[in-house]
Structure 1
């Protein structure tokens, strides 16, 4: 596993319940500011193996990136079960729910 992948996996594993991070945010913190698509690949290929909380990763607009109905609903229900509320049925308030490692809550 290369260093970017290892760092991204570690960051994703540490997203607390009830919080979210964006693909781009994880990419930046992993050392590749333009690596958001790589984060998507990591989530797709490694979530099960590393037991990643994939549902806590969303896009920069605060929306679920998945478009497939079933996956969208699984992710949304998982986030709601952790206490995350949606605005207008499909958006998350990043000011309220975005996890920013190293910043005081």
Structure 2
């Protein structure tokens, strides 16, 4: 197992993650892996999740980040179990299953503008 990043490197990565999340347009979602790859850290999807853990409730649209299958894996970090889904639905995001967004319709990647 690789050693964790030094604190300053992790803080920088976390800040870059939050900057990307701030750009996700309403009604669109991206994945933890998309953000990691955009930041040159392919395979660091879990670190993206860690970066967002403390950002929930900060005004950052963390609810727009889902796993690679469109599942709302971060929902447990919100004030209620349904808050993430409710925010996405209020933006017009549709679901193909309970807790799984329609990625084909709503997927946004950091490079897509």
TM-score normalised over the length of structure 1: 0.83
Instruction: Report the CA distance shift for 1:98/1:11 in structure 2 as closer, same or farther (over 3 A).
Output: same
CA contact (8 A) 1:11 1:26 kept: yes
Instruction: Report the CA distance shift for 1:95/1:32 in structure 2 as closer, same or farther (over 3 A).
Output: same
Which residue in the other structure is 2:64 paired with? 56
TM-score normalised over the length of structure 2: 0.78
- Name which of 104, 107, 113 aligns with 1:95: 104
Q: Distance in 1 between matches of 2:81 and 2:94?
A: 15
What stretches of structure 1 of length at least 5 have no aligned partner? Answer: none
Query: How far did 1:30 drift?
Result: 1.4
Which residue in the other structure is 1:36 paired with? 45
3-state SS in 1 of match to 2:55: helix
- Name which of 6, 13, 21 aligns with 1:12: 21
User: Which range is displaced more, 34-43 or 14-23?
Assistant: 34-43
Instruction: Report the CA distance shift for 1:72/1:15 in structure 2 as closer, same or farther (over 3 A).
Output: same
Q: Distance in 1 between matches of 2:79 and 2:54?
A: 18
CA contact (8 A) 2:22 2:60 kept: yes
Query: How far did 1:71 drift?
Result: 3.9
Which residue in the other structure is 2:87 paired with? 78
How many residues align? The count is: 103
Higher helix share: 1
